[in-house]
Amino acid sequence: MKKSLDFNIRYNLLEGLTFIQRFTAVYMYLEHIDGTGEVTCKGGTNPCCGCGGVRCEYPTAVNKQTSYFFLFNTMTGNSSLRCRFDGEPTEMQRLIGDTDAEDHGCGGDFTVDFLFGYAGYEYRKCTDPAVFQHEIIASIDAGKPVIVKVKSGSPRFYVITGYDGDALIGCPYHCLNPYTDPGKMEEPPEYSNLDVLYVIGNKVAPRYTLKDGLNNIRRVMECNINERVWDGYLTKLGGWDKFPSDDGLDKASPEERKARATRVTGRVGLASPNMYVYNNVSFSNAFGGCCHEKLRRRDLYKELCIPVFAELWNNIGDPHEPLLTAGHHMGGFVHWNKDWLTAAPSEVAASSAGICETITKAKEADIQLLEIINRAIAILDKK
């Protein structure tokens, strides 16, 4: 027997296929939000990454999905995460499920429970392989997709939209890298690799609100400060005059200088700091696009759109720009000196100062954003 849902929600290219990505698509399907449209950017040939959300001048299917992804990604606190220089996950990375061990799938129990509670849906976490097939068939027959976690492989999460005998059916989605494999479709997992099912129940009153989301953001931002995330980079990349350090680049061997520079760009198997800075695109768009005419009528955006928050959300753009610029600078750091093994001390010192200035601006921007979130929470506390 075969049955398949008419599921055609696209994913954005800003992040991996995390639980948050999968949940966003399922939410749109359940809420009957139109997910159709073009998939190329501004009428061209390049795939749309979705960075503009609904505010983009050229709306696409990906932009539609991204607008809701921005909201969910931000309210969980995921877009506020920063990573340590040594690669050890912070307390909040472990809570959200953004670790190497979890393939950065952002599917920790906290994340799953918050998203279902925030969107207003009951769910069950099923871990008994003996009933996996029965549960999936029953859910599909009831018109609801199932989010699954697999035991191994990447990505770690999938959306199951149908069944064909003992085979599973996924959504008609092109692979994550459409630049190299534009025609390749995502292969659904096999039953033998399923680890967890998230079976969706009834639509109910939300258990979490905007205030809970803002508290999530604050908790993550305070964790970044308490764990001195940015200071760890300044210690390892500083040195010389302006950014002195007892363990800076000036005291490192040429091989170690190159290794530290490479760490910043994420080319040693660890998530890179500039990747987390780019996550601020989610943060700024979640608030900046909240009152767009296409979104303000949606229940999840009503609290965000009340007039008392307008000035605060407008101010988020000010610290956002330095963060975005920081991401560009960090990404190119390893290339500033083509040969770190033979670079003159003056060249290394200039590169060190440049990246440390960038990191300092990112650190200051994070502090500004936390202040805005604290002010918003104070407003809600008075209501």
In the block, which residue shows the tokens 């939410």? Answer: 27
In the predicted structure, residue 274 carries a pLDDT above the cut 80: no
pLDDT for 291 equals: 60
At residue 192, the pLDDT reads: 97
Q: Which residue has the higher pLDDT, 173 or 314?
A: 314
pLDDT of residue 221: 97
Who has greater pLDDT, 61 or 225?
225
Q: What are phi and psi of 47, to 5 degrees?
A: -60, 140
Residue 220 and residue 80 in contact, taking contact as beta carbons nearer than 8 Å: yes
Range 63-72 average pLDDT: 91
Query: 5-35 pLDDT, tens per residue?
Result: 999 898 888 888 999 999 999 999 999 998 8
Taken in order 155, 156, 159, 162, the sign of the CA dihedral is positive
Bridging pattern class, strands 146-150 and 157-164: antiparallel
Q: In 3-state terms, what secondary structure has residue 159?
A: strand
Average pLDDT over residues 85-91: 93
Q: Are 287 and 259 in contact (CB under 8 A)?
A: no
* pLDDT band at 285; cut points 50, 70, 90: confident
Tokens of 216: 């999530």
Return the pLDDT at 140: 98
Pairing of strands 146-150, 194-203: antiparallel
pLDDT score, position 175:
57
The tally of CA atoms less than 13 A away on the side-chain side of residue 146 is 32
Tell me the H-state helices in the chain. Answer: 19-30, 61-75, 91-96, 109-119, 132-141, 210-226, 229-237, 254-265, 273-278, 280-288, 299-302, 310-315, 317-331, 333-336, 345-382
Backbone angles phi, psi at 248, to 5 degrees: -85, -175
Does 37 have pLDDT greater than 70? yes
Confidence tier at 234 by pLDDT (50, 70, 90)? very high
Taking only the tens place, the pLDDT of each residue in 286-297 is: 887 666 666 655
State residue 36's pLDDT score.
Answer: 85
Question: Is the pLDDT score of 50 beyond 80?
Answer: yes
- Averaged pLDDT for residues 118-144: 98
